[in-house]
Amino acid sequence: MTRSIGDKVVAITGASSGIGEATARRLAQSGAKVVLGARRTDRLDRIVSEIKAAGGDAVACTLDVTQRSSVYAFVEAAVATFGRLDVFINNAGVMLVSPLGEFKVDEWDQMFDVNVKGVLNGIAAALPVMQRQEDGHIINLSSVAGHKVAPGFTVYCGTKFAVGAISEGLRQEAGPGIRCTVISPGAVQTELSSHIAAGAAKDAVDAMYATAALSPDAIAQAVVYAVSQSADVDVNEILIRPTAQN
């Protein structure tokens, strides 16, 4: 059965800023009921208030994607509030760029914990609900960095290549009625690079973003496109770069 976007319940991880926030706003404008998760709940509360003031339907939930119990609670909250879960967007991510030779092993751990294990936690929590419904859609945020490797981005690229592989396996294994989409953006103007430690790597990333970066809403529109298709259409991947990006 094809549900219109206005009948869908969508849960989004990392919805307190950037692409997640823009996607929550776009989907709510399109009539979807949105469940926003992240750690900064003050941000989520403000976004939810603004969505509601504009006539949308949204709730905020505290969420740490590295904690499996937190992700299960997030999905349970979505189902308890709106009665079902149609779309789960694994958007939360961190990009901590540095040359391998600096051995910032704690940052390597953090990227794999959020970008890979966080996605697996999302699948573990959301997929059983969708399998019971025989209907659902999991959308994973990868990146152009999930397609090509650049010096300094090695571990981040490793996490995003993993997201691509996990998504393709999920697409094949998920079962009847369940779709999987990978969204792979190029540079997007968000808070993502603000967590990189000061130094040459951060300067290079800042220069790249200053040259060409999309608005988060450009990615939100790609998500809306994937979510709006009829039930027999699975948009497997959208790769979307600024025109000026190499």
Q: Identify the active-site residue in 72, 156, 209, 225.
A: 156
User: Do strands 178-185 and 57-62 pair parallel, antiparallel, or not at all (unpaired)?
Assistant: unpaired
**What's the number of CA atoms in the CB half-sphere (13 Å) around residue 150?**
13
140 touches ligand NDP by CB under 6 A:
no
Q: Can you read off the two tokens belonging to residue 71?
A: 């992700």
Identify the residue whose tokens are 């792979």: 184
Residue range at the interface with ligand NDP (CB under 6 A); choices 33-41, 46-54, 75-83, 234-242: 33-41
- State how far the Cα of 70 lies from the Cα of 65, in Å rounded to an integer: 7
Known catalytic membership, residue 72: no
Residue range at the interface with ligand NDP (CB under 6 A); choices 37-45, 73-81, 98-106, 233-241: 37-45
Q: Choose which of 32, 114, 182, 227 interacts with ligand NDP (CB under 6 A).
A: 114
- State how far the Cα of 29 lies from the Cα of 128, in Å rounded to an integer: 28
Residue 23 or 135 having the CB closest to ligand NDP: 23
23 touches ligand NDP by CB under 6 A:
no
Residue 165's H or E segment, with its range, is helix 154-173
162 touches 141 (CB < 8 A):
no
Residue range at the interface with ligand NDP (CB under 6 A); choices 15-23, 80-88, 96-104, 169-177: 15-23
Q: How far apart are the first and last CA of the chain?
A: 41
DSSP state of 40: -
By residue count, the chain amounts to 246
Q: Choose which of 8, 11, 18, 182 interacts with ligand NDP (CB under 6 A).
A: 18
Residue 15 or 97 having the CB closest to ligand NDP: 15
Nearest approach, Cβ of residue 27 and ligand NDP (Å): 15
Q: Which residue numbers are catalytic? A: 156
Residues contributing to the site for ligand NDP (CB under 6 A): 13-20, 38-40, 63-66, 91-95, 114, 141, 143, 185, 187-188, 190-192
